[in-house]
């Protein structure tokens, strides 16, 4: 159900993890949430139902973001039929698991770029002219971009993912450089830890997912509802205090720039410093 | 006036800008704010009065943070007489204006380190054992560190400031690496733009301050009250979603990693790419 | 003319600037240089002639690197007909000048990725299995990648270039993570300044090129022959001392992480520190 | 023995590892090497002897770099009695092994800064005015700074080292920003792996050193003579092609920005991508 008096929050990549929780949070804050995802109409409708059960307003659509014209059409349709998109979340990942170079076919590498880099470009291309126009009268315009550790450094097996996410981060910087002074805010969020996301990590791990979560513990895996609070905060920073880049991780995780905890720090707090320091 | 039933928010570097506004925000959220600053007892009492006028609880103390034992004594006294420090803000800067190397005496360089790097170390040394103890039963423990662009890169004239802030950033990373898994959260905030701070930038610019603010405009200079909202957000992220590093700047500022806006992008949106790209 | 007793140095992107000079340097050091470039057969033959005039050995081929199979075929043909490629230089850029987002068509953005990111992936895919095989008996295997400031940060107008170069850098990191321990060395070189390159910068600037060079001075623009010495050095570091990332710029340029020289440092060496520090 | 017709290469931190090997390399290239180290007169004289046996010219002096005036006096004395310092290497580390915060006393933290950050500042203060003067007539002026992974990120147990090295890196950037355009080149070298250095790593590991080296293998530990070649290269880049930052590591090491090799990439080259990607 749509409510044309509300600003729209558009989510591309609306699974039961980050995307769905962000939709719930923004809907609770007064937005109409438009949720797009690749497949699983039933799952999508469940999310719409959840938002509505919480007293919010939402609608959903299936979308193959890699397809020519799909993102562009979604933006046009949303703005025409539902309302002005004041905040958007680009939440598509391109993680395919670790694969050695010779197990990473050309088409997989290209698809990674198409979903993780090109899609952000296409969304900005379609959405920002309207946002810039509205910003002239003081309206908010925010693009939240869920990103990954691979945007900061390339690790073994991550050829496709890291190349695509590295492009994503640099693109977010060029977008801010051009559009921040025009009133459109892009926030690049490095999610540097596992997220409790049944539709992505859950499917990647399959029947090992529950054991993985058990081992990490409730506080050891990012709660997408908590991350949604950070997204809400970022999207509503006033113009004189905008964040471009931020990271999040569970307290029990080492940051991407660190090694795993060094077993060589012994109980007396003194140890051998590794060759890396 | 103290209220022993409240958690304490300790601010080192409590001027009328970031420190004072953070105190206001945390007091509004239920903390007792303990504000420490180097000088200006009257200004300090004005801040305490402001917090109390807004219905909050605060106290203030003058402190020379560079002095041996001063930070340690403040922490001990606060925990003993007022209450457990659940959140702290290290807000001392070490900006001395741009000075060529031969205009940067050894003692100035050392003082920069003493205020900007060593002080953070000393505060963590004094405060974290208690925070770790309390974290075992689930309590929050947060150290917010106001940082500067100079923590990310050294610019001409910034010998003292950049060396001190670069040390600050790496120290925040080592603190998180050791203490995040023990329940203490350190957030390093790169303030990448001018802040409306009468007691620091105001004094640095002197009678040019008003003209500077006029030129920037209300939205072109970081409102410390807005930044205080980001501080509040960071200090209350749940354990499974902690931010270690974040930046903020006004919408109209270029990020530190960018050049000034390129006049060579002409009206047709196409131009000469500089040698730097 | 080929000389099958020599190791091969393969250059993709062999203009009169970096590519040609690297070929000259490696040929002088005993390699047979195979130079590939998109167009200008006459220019290519001039480079071959230059190498031979200096007593070296080289051959050239025209190549559209964006075309499916072209890089793969070049590698296969070179290894089959000329000799084992012990060092390669990926030297294709994707700079299109500064363009606002709405002046950056989708196909331009895609072409940028195809040349700057995908091409490196394809070259590694085709070349590294052979290099790994040879490395088992101790042979060198090096991929030099000319990169740009845009790999480190996205600037206004650089949507296509920065996204492509950011992907390039992360890819070089994943390649090193997988292949360095197998004996293949990837060096990512951030060229953070203008290069005296008639075939690229020269064409971009057109009849303003000579004036630009005049203004910069001989020492103010990167001499590709000097850069070729750094390439040679990198390609011949022994296995126990490999460089993954390095930057170069003229002495008179500010580094990408800095602003332009601050006019506010006055003659007495003391001045106003900008809001960015 | 001194030779006043030679340019001087000044090494602060001249042990049998990097410092001594750099001295050997620069002496072989025509410099007179002045080697300073904290202790072990016999070891120092062995290095002088090694240089002379190889046909070079060197002299040595004991120096407590942390002492007020010591670096300044060394520079003055060298320039007055031996000759103009055209290249210098600041090679003092401040690694104390991994220590938890409560095992890192204030004076240790301060000493780390004094050796790793303040010493570079003091050397530049004393040396650069002369280098700038000589650069006006085209002379080289280079300061090589051996740095560590801890300059790039703070790891657990590295409070003192990382704070000091982070300051060192930012200081090198401010020095380049002010002095590169005046003809003085600062190169910050991140040594991201163990070095075969009997006087530092050797002493840190004690009787485990030989086993450590055995395990790493000859190619798995940085050969300081190889690193000295990179130092030589950096110090002789022409003005139009200067490197400010570079890293080195053995081929078999993961770079600091990577995790340890992921056991989850299985033999088929496909695996589970960790939560960090």
Cβ contacts of C264 on chain B, cutoff 8 Å: 98
- Residue A249 and residue B252: Cβ atoms within 8 Å? no
What is the distance in angstroms between the CA of the first residue and the CA of the last residue of chain C? 56
Confidence at residue B267, expressed as pLDDT on a 0 to 100 scale: 45
- Is B118 in the D-facing interface, judged by CB distances under 8 Å? yes
Reply yes or no on whether the pLDDT at A266 is more than 80: no
- Residue D163 and residue B162: Cβ atoms within 8 Å? no
Confidence at residue C87, expressed as pLDDT on a 0 to 100 scale: 98
- Is C94 in the A-facing interface, judged by CB distances under 8 Å? no
Min Cα–Cα distance to chain C from A13, Å? 21
Reply yes or no on whether the pLDDT at C2 is more than 70: no
Reply yes or no on whether the pLDDT at B74 is more than 60: yes
- List all residues 6 or more positions away from C66 whose beta carbon is below 8 Å from its beta carbon: C111, C114, C115, C119
* Mean pLDDT score, A139-156: 96
Reply yes or no on whether the pLDDT at C264 is more than 70: no
Confidence at residue A261, expressed as pLDDT on a 0 to 100 scale: 52
Q: Are A151 and C130 in contact (CB under 8 A)?
A: no
- Is A163 in the C-facing interface, judged by CB distances under 8 Å? yes
- Residue D174 and residue B158: Cβ atoms within 8 Å? yes
Confidence at residue D72, expressed as pLDDT on a 0 to 100 scale: 98
- Is A270 in the B-facing interface, judged by CB distances under 8 Å? no
- Is D137 in the A-facing interface, judged by CB distances under 8 Å? no
* Mean pLDDT score, A15-40: 97
Reply yes or no on whether the pLDDT at D187 is more than 70: yes
* Mean pLDDT score, A7-17: 97
Domains of chain D (ranges plus CATH)? 8-248 (3.40.50.720)
- The whole-angstrom separation of Cα C276 and Cα A73 is 40
Cβ contacts of D169 on chain B, cutoff 8 Å: 154, 166
Reply yes or no on whether the pLDDT at A265 is more than 60: no
Reply yes or no on whether the pLDDT at B12 is more than 80: yes
User: pLDDT digits over B33-64, tens only?
Assistant: 999 999 999 999 999 999 999 999 999 999 99
- Residue D258 and residue A153: Cβ atoms within 8 Å? yes
Q: How open is the CA angle D203-D21-D209, to the nearest 5 degrees? A: 25
| Whole-complex ipTM | 0.95
Confidence at residue D267, expressed as pLDDT on a 0 to 100 scale: 46
- How much is the mean pLDDT over chain A? 93
Strands, E, within chain B: which ranges?
A: 8-12, 32-37, 57-62, 85-90, 98-99, 142-148, 185-191, 245-248, 270-271
* Mean pLDDT score, C184-197: 96
Closest CA to B23 of B85, B84, B88, B92: B88
In chain D, count of helices (H) and strands (E)? 9, 9
- Residue A98 and residue D265: Cβ atoms within 8 Å? yes
- Is B97 in the C-facing interface, judged by CB distances under 8 Å? yes
User: pLDDT digits over B194-204, tens only?
Assistant: 999 988 888 88
Confidence at residue B97, expressed as pLDDT on a 0 to 100 scale: 87
Q: Are D117 and B167 in contact (CB under 8 A)?
A: yes
User: What is the distance of C-alpha D7 from the center of its chain?
Assistant: 20
Is residue C42 packed enough to be buried (19+ CB in 10 Å), middle (13-18) or exposed (0-12)?
exposed
H helix runs in D114-207, sequence order: 119-135, 159-179, 201-205
User: pLDDT digits over A206-261, tens only?
Assistant: 899 999 999 989 899 999 999 999 999 999 999 999 999 999 999 999 999 997 65
Closest CA to B243 of A167, A226, D273, A196: A226
Confidence at residue D268, expressed as pLDDT on a 0 to 100 scale: 52
* Mean pLDDT score, B118-147: 97
Closest CA to D29 of D242, D232, D224: D232
Confidence at residue D270, expressed as pLDDT on a 0 to 100 scale: 61
Q: Are B164 and B94 in contact (CB under 8 A)?
A: yes
Cβ contacts of C100 on chain A, cutoff 8 Å: 178
Min Cα–Cα distance to chain B from A92, Å? 20
- The whole-angstrom separation of Cα C273 and Cα B148 is 12
Cβ contacts of D254 on chain C, cutoff 8 Å: 177
- Residue D149 and residue A261: Cβ atoms within 8 Å? no
* Mean pLDDT score, B162-170: 98
Q: Are D188 and D145 in contact (CB under 8 A)?
A: yes
Length of chain C in terms of residues written = 277
Confidence at residue D100, expressed as pLDDT on a 0 to 100 scale: 96
User: pLDDT digits over C92-138, tens only?
Assistant: 998 888 999 999 999 999 999 999 999 999 999 999 999 999 999 99
- How much is the mean pLDDT over chain D? 93
Reply yes or no on whether the pLDDT at B172 is more than 80: yes
Confidence at residue D205, expressed as pLDDT on a 0 to 100 scale: 85
User: pLDDT digits over D188-235, tens only?
Assistant: 999 999 999 988 888 888 899 999 999 989 899 999 999 999 999 999
Reply yes or no on whether the pLDDT at A125 is more than 70: yes
* Band (A277; pLDDT cuts 50, 70, 90): confident
Chain A residue with CA closest to D264: the answer is A98
- Is C217 in the B-facing interface, judged by CB distances under 8 Å? no
User: pLDDT digits over D65-103, tens only?
Assistant: 999 999 999 999 999 999 999 999 999 998 888 999 999
* Mean pLDDT score, A146-171: 97
- Is D219 in the C-facing interface, judged by CB distances under 8 Å? yes
Of residues C62 and C199, more confidence is placed in C62
Confidence at residue C275, expressed as pLDDT on a 0 to 100 scale: 65
Question: Radius of gyration over alpha carbons of chain D, in Å?
Answer: 19
Q: What percent of chain C has pLDDT over 90?
A: 84
């Amino acid at each position: 159900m749509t409510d044309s008096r509300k600003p729209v929050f558009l989510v591309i990549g609306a699974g039961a993890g980050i995307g769905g929780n962000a939709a719930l949070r923004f809907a609770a804050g007064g937005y109409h949430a438009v949720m797009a995802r690749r497949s699983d109409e039933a799952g999508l409708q469940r999310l719409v139902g959840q938002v509505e059960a919480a007293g919010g307003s939402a609608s959903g659509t299936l979308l193959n973001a890699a397809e020519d014209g799909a993102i562009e059409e979604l933006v046009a349709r949303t703005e025409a039929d539902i309302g002005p998109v004041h905040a958007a979340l680009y939440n598509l990942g391109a993680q395919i698991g670790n694969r050695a170079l010779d197990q990473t076919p050309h088409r997989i590498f290209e698809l990674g770029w198409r979903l993780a880099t090109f899609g952000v470009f296409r969304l900005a291309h379609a959405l920002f002219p309207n946002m810039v126009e509205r910003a002239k009268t003081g309206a908010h315009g925010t693009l939240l971009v869920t990103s990954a550790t691979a945007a900061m450094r390339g690790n073994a097996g991550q050829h496709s993912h890291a190349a695509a996410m590295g492009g994503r981060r640099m693109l977010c910087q060029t977008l801010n450089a051009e559009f921040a002074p025009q009133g459109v805010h892009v926030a690049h969020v490095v999610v540097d830890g596992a997220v409790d996301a049944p539709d992505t990590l859950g499917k990647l791990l399959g029947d090992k997912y529950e054991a993985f979560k058990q081992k990490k513990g409730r506080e050891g895996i990012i709660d997408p509802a908590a991350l949604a609070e950070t997204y809400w905060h970022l999207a509503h920073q006033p113009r004189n205090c905008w964040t471009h880049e931020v990271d999040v991780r569970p307290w029990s995780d080492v940051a991407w720039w660190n090694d795993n905890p060094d077993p060589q720090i012994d109980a007396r707090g003194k140890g051998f410093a590794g060759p890396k320091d």
